[in-house]
Amino acid sequence: MSAVEAMQTSLAAEHAAVYVHGVLGGQVSRSSDPALADAVEAAYRVHRGRRDQLIRLLRDAGAEPVASEVAYVLPSRVDTAARISAAAREVERRCATTYADQVGRTAAGQRRWAVTALGDAAARQLRFRGSPETFPGAEELADR
Amino acid sequence: MPRAPHPLSRRTTLAVPAWTVLALTAAGCRWGPEEDASDAAPTSTATPDPQAAGEGSDDATYAAEALAATGDTALLVSEVATTHRGLSTPLAELTALHLAHSRLLQEAVPTPKAATAPRVPRGSRQALALVRTEERRLQRRLGDLADTVESGTFARALASMSAAVGQQLSVLPSDPGRADP
């Protein structure tokens, strides 16, 4: 996989993240769980920004950015705060994996964006009741 | 109008969250393949390649730097936890993290440099603040090295280590009073 393909994969993940966080934002109750509502809204904004950055980066690289799907399926029902958190956490976990892969596929001196995005996604997992990991985005390294 | 397929490989597709595969296309609803989540992880490229950071290469030098930085920070955390017993529990995860990272880095650095003995502040608040400062420094250093090394697999591991330190910083108490068991 080339660096451009890795960026396309990250963009596809961002499209999904924007969609899912948008849906979750509509499900969370701001009055009963303002912290979760804030976290989902903040994550939505970050992913929208990352998506737009990736689109620009890909166009700068002469590639046609991958388009989003019309809709995405959610992992399960998102009718409780716990399920909403779990869905949001899974989005961030998957994005972290994708960013880590992008780091590995990009040349030295051009990885900063993905390194930062990986760190952000790992930190956001904690806002959705996640636990710190030994190797965020690269879980298999923990088994070595 | 149907969209032209984008030039993504099967591997690319699998890296997208498996549960986002379901697309409600303009032609109607369709279920995507049910891929195991483990399929989505780029496992074949994720393991560090000790040879890529082998002795004599620039990456070996960077690996030694990463190991030295991790070792120095680990020693500080250990000394702070020993000196300020109330901090030993909240710092235990950091210690375990540094140990795991050091083990991985040692695959590329057979003769690591000895860690520098730190000066631990007498006050637990100052000691905790110093730990925070040094962990932030380590997080930045690992991120910088991830952007610098030649090997992509090694860069991926370093970026992950940097992110892991960032996670620990997020859960580290800022007030030692709240850290006491």
A72-84 residue pLDDT tens: 988 778 989 999 9
Instruction: Give the one of B6, B96, B159 whose C-beta lies nearest to A103's C-beta.
Output: B159
Q: Which chain B residue shows the shortest CA-CA distance from A13?
A: B16
Phi, psi of A66 (to 5 degrees): -65, 140
Domains, in order of start, for chain B: 54-170 (1.20.1260)
**ipTM value:** 0.94
Checking if the pLDDT of B101 tops 80, the result is yes
pLDDT at residue number B54: 52
The confidence band for B55, taking pLDDT boundaries of 50, 70 and 90, is low
CATH of domain A3-143: 1.20.1260.10
Q: Which chain B residue shows the shortest CA-CA distance from A141?
A: B47
The confidence band for B179, taking pLDDT boundaries of 50, 70 and 90, is low
Residue ranges covered by each domain of chain A: 3-143
B106-117 residue pLDDT tens: 988 878 888 888
What's the mean pLDDT when you consider all of chain B? 74
Checking if the pLDDT of B129 tops 90, the result is yes
Best residue in A55, A64, A69, A83 for a mutation probing chain B (most B CBs within 10 Å):
A69
pLDDT at residue number A94: 95
